[in-house]
Amino acid sequence: MQWSDEAIVLGVRRHGETSVIVEVMTRERGRHLGMVRGGRSRTMQPVLQPGNSVDVTWRARLDEHLGEFRVEPLELRAGRLMETATAVYGVQAMAALLRFLPERDPHPHLYEALSVILGHLHEPADAGELFIRFELAVLNDLGFGLDLLECVATGAKDDLCYVSPKSGRAVSRAAGAPWADKMLALPAFLGDESRHAADAAALADGFRLTAFFLNRHVCEPRGLELANAREGFVQAALKALGGLKNDQPEEARA
Protein backbone atom coordinates (compact mmCIF):
# COMPACT_ATOMS: atom_id res chain seq x y z
CA MET A 1 0.00 0.00 0.00
CA GLN A 2 1.41 3.41 -0.96
CA TRP A 3 0.22 6.96 -1.61
CA SER A 4 1.64 10.50 -1.67
CA ASP A 5 -0.08 13.73 -0.66
CA GLU A 6 0.50 17.26 0.60
CA ALA A 7 0.10 17.60 4.36
CA ILE A 8 0.42 19.93 7.34
CA VAL A 9 2.11 18.64 10.48
CA LEU A 10 -0.22 18.60 13.50
CA GLY A 11 1.89 16.85 16.11
CA VAL A 12 4.80 14.51 16.82
CA ARG A 13 5.53 11.99 19.57
CA ARG A 14 8.58 9.85 20.27
CA HIS A 15 8.72 6.24 19.12
CA GLY A 16 11.74 4.28 20.25
CA GLU A 17 15.21 5.78 20.34
CA THR A 18 15.35 7.54 16.99
CA SER A 19 11.90 7.42 15.37
CA VAL A 20 8.70 9.42 15.84
CA ILE A 21 4.99 9.05 15.16
CA VAL A 22 3.88 12.01 13.06
CA GLU A 23 0.29 13.22 12.85
CA VAL A 24 -0.58 15.22 9.73
CA MET A 25 -3.61 16.70 8.04
CA THR A 26 -3.45 15.66 4.40
CA ARG A 27 -5.21 17.30 1.50
CA GLU A 28 -7.01 14.18 0.24
CA ARG A 29 -6.88 11.63 3.08
CA GLY A 30 -7.71 13.65 6.16
CA ARG A 31 -5.90 13.31 9.45
CA HIS A 32 -3.33 10.54 9.22
CA LEU A 33 -0.57 9.08 11.38
CA GLY A 34 2.63 7.37 10.36
CA MET A 35 6.08 6.53 11.67
CA VAL A 36 9.14 8.43 10.50
CA ARG A 37 12.37 6.51 11.00
CA GLY A 38 15.14 8.84 12.12
CA GLY A 39 12.58 11.51 12.85
CA ARG A 40 14.55 12.72 15.87
CA SER A 41 17.63 13.53 13.80
CA ARG A 42 18.92 17.08 13.46
CA THR A 43 17.85 17.05 9.84
CA MET A 44 14.27 15.94 10.42
CA GLN A 45 13.38 17.72 13.66
CA PRO A 46 13.05 21.18 12.05
CA VAL A 47 10.84 19.67 9.34
CA LEU A 48 8.52 17.77 11.69
CA GLN A 49 7.24 20.81 13.57
CA PRO A 50 3.52 21.64 13.89
CA GLY A 51 2.37 24.08 11.23
CA ASN A 52 4.91 23.06 8.58
CA SER A 53 3.69 22.02 5.14
CA VAL A 54 5.27 18.83 3.86
CA ASP A 55 5.00 16.27 1.10
CA VAL A 56 4.41 12.80 2.55
CA THR A 57 4.61 9.35 1.04
CA TRP A 58 2.95 6.66 3.14
CA ARG A 59 3.78 2.97 2.85
CA ALA A 60 2.41 -0.06 4.67
CA ARG A 61 1.83 -3.74 3.98
CA LEU A 62 -1.89 -3.41 4.75
CA ASP A 63 -4.15 -0.38 4.68
CA GLU A 64 -5.09 -0.70 8.37
CA HIS A 65 -1.44 -0.65 9.53
CA LEU A 66 0.19 2.45 11.02
CA GLY A 67 2.67 2.54 8.17
CA GLU A 68 5.72 4.71 7.56
CA PHE A 69 6.03 8.22 6.21
CA ARG A 70 8.74 9.57 3.97
CA VAL A 71 8.62 13.33 4.49
CA GLU A 72 9.93 16.16 2.33
CA PRO A 73 9.61 19.85 3.34
CA LEU A 74 7.41 22.21 1.34
CA GLU A 75 6.98 25.28 3.58
CA LEU A 76 8.72 25.49 6.95
CA ARG A 77 6.64 28.10 8.77
CA ALA A 78 6.98 26.71 12.31
CA GLY A 79 9.70 29.18 13.31
CA ARG A 80 7.51 32.12 12.31
CA LEU A 81 4.57 30.61 14.18
CA MET A 82 6.56 30.81 17.42
CA GLU A 83 6.70 34.61 17.29
CA THR A 84 3.21 35.48 18.61
CA ALA A 85 0.88 34.00 21.21
CA THR A 86 -2.02 33.81 18.75
CA ALA A 87 0.12 31.73 16.39
CA VAL A 88 1.54 29.43 19.10
CA TYR A 89 -1.87 28.66 20.58
CA GLY A 90 -3.69 28.75 17.26
CA VAL A 91 -1.71 25.87 15.74
CA GLN A 92 -2.31 23.71 18.80
CA ALA A 93 -5.99 24.61 19.03
CA MET A 94 -6.72 23.80 15.39
CA ALA A 95 -4.88 20.48 15.67
CA ALA A 96 -7.06 19.64 18.69
CA LEU A 97 -10.21 20.49 16.70
CA LEU A 98 -9.17 18.22 13.84
CA ARG A 99 -8.73 15.35 16.31
CA PHE A 100 -12.50 15.37 16.83
CA LEU A 101 -12.77 14.04 13.26
CA PRO A 102 -12.27 10.36 12.47
CA GLU A 103 -8.76 9.47 11.38
CA ARG A 104 -8.30 8.99 7.63
CA ASP A 105 -11.65 10.66 6.87
CA PRO A 106 -11.06 13.13 3.98
CA HIS A 107 -11.92 16.79 4.57
CA PRO A 108 -10.10 18.68 1.80
CA HIS A 109 -11.85 22.00 2.54
CA LEU A 110 -10.60 21.86 6.15
CA TYR A 111 -7.08 21.25 4.86
CA GLU A 112 -7.38 24.32 2.65
CA ALA A 113 -8.83 26.38 5.51
CA LEU A 114 -6.03 25.29 7.83
CA SER A 115 -3.44 26.29 5.24
CA VAL A 116 -4.99 29.75 4.85
CA ILE A 117 -5.32 30.39 8.59
CA LEU A 118 -1.70 29.47 9.25
CA GLY A 119 -0.72 32.43 7.09
CA HIS A 120 -2.84 34.88 9.13
CA LEU A 121 -2.20 33.86 12.73
CA HIS A 122 -0.08 36.96 13.39
CA GLU A 123 -3.03 39.31 12.79
CA PRO A 124 -5.34 38.93 15.83
CA ALA A 125 -8.53 40.17 14.14
CA ASP A 126 -8.02 38.06 11.02
CA ALA A 127 -6.84 35.07 13.04
CA GLY A 128 -9.80 35.25 15.40
CA GLU A 129 -12.39 35.52 12.67
CA LEU A 130 -10.83 32.73 10.59
CA PHE A 131 -10.53 30.52 13.66
CA ILE A 132 -14.23 30.93 14.48
CA ARG A 133 -15.15 30.08 10.90
CA PHE A 134 -12.87 27.04 11.14
CA GLU A 135 -14.70 25.87 14.27
CA LEU A 136 -18.02 26.31 12.47
CA ALA A 137 -16.70 24.23 9.57
CA VAL A 138 -15.59 21.46 11.94
CA LEU A 139 -19.03 21.48 13.59
CA ASN A 140 -20.62 21.21 10.15
CA ASP A 141 -18.46 18.26 9.15
CA LEU A 142 -19.33 16.51 12.41
CA GLY A 143 -23.02 16.87 11.57
CA PHE A 144 -23.81 19.79 13.88
CA GLY A 145 -23.70 22.72 11.47
CA LEU A 146 -25.34 26.00 12.42
CA ASP A 147 -27.80 27.82 10.14
CA LEU A 148 -26.89 31.49 10.41
CA LEU A 149 -28.38 32.80 7.16
CA GLU A 150 -32.06 33.28 7.97
CA CYS A 151 -34.34 33.67 10.97
CA VAL A 152 -35.71 30.35 12.22
CA ALA A 153 -38.96 32.06 13.26
CA THR A 154 -39.74 34.34 10.32
CA GLY A 155 -37.41 33.35 7.46
CA ALA A 156 -36.06 36.91 7.36
CA LYS A 157 -32.45 37.36 6.28
CA ASP A 158 -31.95 40.87 7.65
CA ASP A 159 -31.13 42.11 11.15
CA LEU A 160 -30.06 38.69 12.42
CA CYS A 161 -28.47 39.19 15.81
CA TYR A 162 -29.19 36.05 17.86
CA VAL A 163 -28.65 32.30 17.66
CA SER A 164 -31.07 29.91 19.31
CA PRO A 165 -29.17 27.66 21.74
CA LYS A 166 -31.74 24.92 21.10
CA SER A 167 -31.79 24.82 17.31
CA GLY A 168 -28.47 26.39 16.38
CA ARG A 169 -30.29 28.67 13.95
CA ALA A 170 -30.26 32.43 13.57
CA VAL A 171 -33.00 34.63 15.02
CA SER A 172 -33.83 38.19 13.99
CA ARG A 173 -33.75 41.05 16.45
CA ALA A 174 -37.54 41.45 16.44
CA ALA A 175 -38.34 37.74 16.76
CA GLY A 176 -35.76 37.15 19.47
CA ALA A 177 -36.39 40.24 21.59
CA PRO A 178 -38.72 38.52 24.12
CA TRP A 179 -36.07 35.86 24.81
CA ALA A 180 -32.95 37.97 24.32
CA ASP A 181 -31.48 36.98 27.70
CA LYS A 182 -31.59 33.31 26.69
CA MET A 183 -30.13 33.76 23.23
CA LEU A 184 -26.54 33.57 22.03
CA ALA A 185 -25.24 36.66 20.26
CA LEU A 186 -24.62 36.39 16.51
CA PRO A 187 -21.64 38.60 15.58
CA ALA A 188 -22.19 40.68 12.48
CA PHE A 189 -19.10 39.37 10.69
CA LEU A 190 -20.75 35.94 10.40
CA GLY A 191 -23.63 37.36 8.37
CA ASP A 192 -24.12 36.39 4.75
CA GLU A 193 -21.70 38.42 2.60
CA SER A 194 -20.98 40.63 5.60
CA ARG A 195 -18.40 43.36 5.25
CA HIS A 196 -18.21 44.00 8.98
CA ALA A 197 -14.71 43.75 10.44
CA ALA A 198 -14.36 41.60 13.53
CA ASP A 199 -13.58 43.76 16.57
CA ALA A 200 -12.86 42.46 20.06
CA ALA A 201 -16.52 42.43 21.14
CA ALA A 202 -17.63 40.56 18.01
CA LEU A 203 -14.83 38.04 18.39
CA ALA A 204 -15.78 37.42 22.03
CA ASP A 205 -19.36 36.72 20.91
CA GLY A 206 -18.10 34.40 18.19
CA PHE A 207 -15.86 32.46 20.57
CA ARG A 208 -18.75 32.01 23.01
CA LEU A 209 -21.03 30.86 20.17
CA THR A 210 -18.76 28.14 18.85
CA ALA A 211 -17.65 27.04 22.33
CA PHE A 212 -21.28 26.52 23.35
CA PHE A 213 -22.06 24.16 20.46
CA LEU A 214 -18.69 22.39 20.53
CA ASN A 215 -19.19 21.64 24.20
CA ARG A 216 -22.81 20.56 23.79
CA HIS A 217 -22.50 18.39 20.71
CA VAL A 218 -18.88 17.21 20.67
CA CYS A 219 -17.10 17.44 24.01
CA GLU A 220 -19.77 16.60 26.58
CA PRO A 221 -21.06 13.44 24.83
CA ARG A 222 -17.46 12.15 24.69
CA GLY A 223 -16.56 13.21 28.23
CA LEU A 224 -13.97 15.65 26.89
CA GLU A 225 -13.15 19.33 27.31
CA LEU A 226 -12.04 21.90 24.79
CA ALA A 227 -8.26 22.07 24.53
CA ASN A 228 -6.43 24.48 26.84
CA ALA A 229 -4.78 25.86 23.72
CA ARG A 230 -8.14 27.21 22.59
CA GLU A 231 -8.46 29.28 25.77
CA GLY A 232 -4.91 30.52 25.23
CA PHE A 233 -5.73 31.53 21.67
CA VAL A 234 -8.96 33.29 22.71
CA GLN A 235 -7.21 35.29 25.42
CA ALA A 236 -4.27 36.19 23.16
CA ALA A 237 -6.54 37.36 20.33
CA LEU A 238 -8.79 39.45 22.58
CA LYS A 239 -5.86 40.92 24.52
CA ALA A 240 -4.16 41.98 21.28
CA LEU A 241 -7.34 43.85 20.30
CA GLY A 242 -7.76 45.46 23.71
CA GLY A 243 -10.86 43.41 24.48
CA LEU A 244 -9.62 41.48 27.51
CA LYS A 245 -9.26 43.15 30.89
CA ASN A 246 -7.22 41.67 33.69
CA ASP A 247 -10.14 41.95 36.11
CA GLN A 248 -12.63 40.14 33.87
CA PRO A 249 -14.09 36.95 35.36
CA GLU A 250 -12.83 33.76 33.76
CA GLU A 251 -16.17 32.93 32.09
CA ALA A 252 -16.06 36.24 30.20
CA ARG A 253 -12.80 35.16 28.61
CA ALA A 254 -14.17 32.03 26.98
**What value does the mean pLDDT take over residues 226-245?**
90
Rounded to an integer, the average pLDDT of 172-197 is: 87
Mean of pLDDT values over 32-43 = 96
Q: What is the DSSP string of 19-36?
A: EEEEEEEETTTEEEEEEE
| pLDDT given at position 193 | 59
pLDDT of residue 192: 64
At 251, the pLDDT band (50, 70, 90 cuts) reads very low
What integer pLDDT is reported at residue 249 of this predicted model? 39
Residue type, 111: Y
| Mean pLDDT along residues 224-252 | 79
Give the DSSP H/E element, type plus range, for residue 200: helix 200-214
**pLDDT beyond 60 at 162:** yes
**What was the pLDDT predicted at 191?**
78
pLDDT confidence tier of residue 250, bands split at 50, 70 and 90 = very low
Is it the case that residue 99 has pLDDT exceeding 60? yes
CA distance 148 to 12: 37
Please give the share of the chain, as a percent, with pLDDT higher than 90: 87
Q: What is the pLDDT of residues 113-132, one digit of tens each?
A: 999 999 999 998 899 999 99
Mean pLDDT of the chain: 92
pLDDT at 242: 86
Is pLDDT above 50 for 59? yes
* Angstrom distance (rounded) from CA 70 to CA 97: 25
What average pLDDT score do residues 135-151 get? Answer: 96
Q: For residue 200, is pLDDT > 80? A: yes
pLDDT score recorded for residue 138: 98
Question: Which residues have CB under 8 Å from 33's CB, separation 6+?
Answer: 21, 22, 23, 24, 66, 103
Backbone angles phi, psi at 154, to 5 degrees: -120, -15
